[in-house]
Amino acid sequence: MGSLQLKSVRKSFGNVDVIKGIDLDVKDGEFVIFVGPSGCGKSTLLRIIAGLEDATSGSITIDGTEVVTVPPAKRGIAMVFQSYALYPHLTVKDNMGLGLKQAGAPKDEIEKRVAKASAMLSLEKYLARRPAELSGGQRQRVAIGRAIVREPKLFLFDEPLSNLDAALRVNTRLEIARLHRDLKATMIYVTHDQVEAMTLADKIVVLDAGVIQQVGSPMELYNKPANLFVAGFIGSPGMNFIEASRLGITDAKTFGVRPEHIALSRDGGDWQAKAVHVEHLGADTIVYLESDKVGAFTVRLFGEHHYAPGDAVYATPSSGQTHRFDANGQAIR
């Protein structure tokens, strides 16, 4: 009841191409996350799916129906915005019910669906309040409730957690994950935060400069990045890239290894290096190193380790967890 197909969708503003031909298949019930740096076109793509922007060319089908010429309200979608976008003059209840009211649903039906959605989000106590009388987290729950009430084929989330503080963000993230399990609805979610992407998604779509860089499950992207961009974007701290020639590798341009896939030792190893800076995070220790052989790189160790700047150490990348990229930045497998 909620599949989506995009076929060579393009969008230009004047001479600037923002979306350069996107093909994507979203299956019913999937949680798909668009992730990418600012300006990569992810929000624009979501707005095109919603019908708030017109695609310059290409086709969009929801549940097998071409929707390019269908207005947003008739596409069977619901959207949650970063800024909540609640109607300031309506109560929580009316905010949630407005879409159905506009569609001409009977009163008791609206009543029933609002009651169900507010129970799911524990908003019953606030139904008579106006948005101004709610906290940020409650407002975002109302915005999500407004989407649920419409029982859409497709949920669209546009960076819904960006305006929340860190603790609320984790709670709301869990809530969205729970909703996805309960509703079994198709959700498309835009974020620039890779933690949200990794934790929520069934399928991540990495976008850069208006082009899909890779589509895959979180672990696929982590373990088998298709190119340099994805390798550098997914994972924190980012992957270390080393010129392959420095390591004597001839069949690749760039050698990559994640900071957590390098072992450190004071006694011996592949690369001799010196610690430049150390960050102690409790659960992790992040060591920034400088080596004559491979240049600057980062190592992430689990737990507490007592390295200090200036320490001489040896680093060894663990075999089987390294990546090689050709001159075009594509991964060599």
Residues found near other proteins in the complex (CB under 8 A) = 47, 50-52, 71-74, 77-79, 81-89, 98-99, 102-103, 130-134, 136, 139, 146, 150, 158, 163
Q: Quick one: 95 or 227, whose CB is closer to other proteins?
A: 95
Least gap, CB of 14 to other proteins (angstroms) = 10
Which residues is 5 bridged to in the sheet?
25, 61
Q: What's the CA gap between 149 and 118, in Å, rounded?
A: 9
Least gap, CB of 81 to other proteins (angstroms) = 4
Q: Quick one: 134 or 294, whose CB is closer to other proteins?
A: 134
Least gap, CB of 167 to other proteins (angstroms) = 18
CA neighbor of 312 nearest in space, from 256, 269, 261? 269
Burial 251-286 (b: 16+ CB within 10 A, else e): ebbbbbbbbbbbebeeeebebebebeebeeeeebbb
Least gap, CB of 110 to other proteins (angstroms) = 12
Q: Quick one: 134 or 230, whose CB is closer to other proteins?
A: 134
- Euclidean distance between the first and the last CA atom of the chain, given in angstroms as a whole number: 37
User: Is the dihedral angle over the CA atoms 301, 307, 308, 314 positive or is it negative?
Assistant: negative
Which residues is 13 bridged to in the sheet?
16
Least gap, CB of 154 to other proteins (angstroms) = 11
Q: Quick one: 66 or 133, whose CB is closer to other proteins?
A: 133
